[in-house]
Structure 1
């Protein structure tokens, strides 16, 4: 079973880590990440592929 970040955990991650580094590691543009942080785009509508990429990067930082 895959465990992914909650919306709150993801928003906190975006606000406490460099969007540039997240973008480089995940392939998700900085602008897209900024749109989530600034609530221009609903984080709840994020594709599952993006959620998996962000969660994988988050987990890699914990190791």
Structure 2
């Protein structure tokens, strides 16, 4: 059971970092382009919401 908690916690930390990066981008507003196309703020907001939800779910599951 210890390995399962470690993997879940590591995944939660990775999603937390992605969520914090999305929050930083929303606050600062620096441009990101993928394949020559600009990524909008709306996409970043969806990444923030999904990342936060996944982070919370993984931390809750690791706590059990």
TM-score (norm 2): 0.33
Q: Tell me which structure has the larger Cα radius of gyration.
A: 2
Q: Which has the higher strand share?
A: 2
Quick one: higher RCO (CA 8 Å, sep 6+), 1 or 2? 2
TM-score (norm 1): 0.34
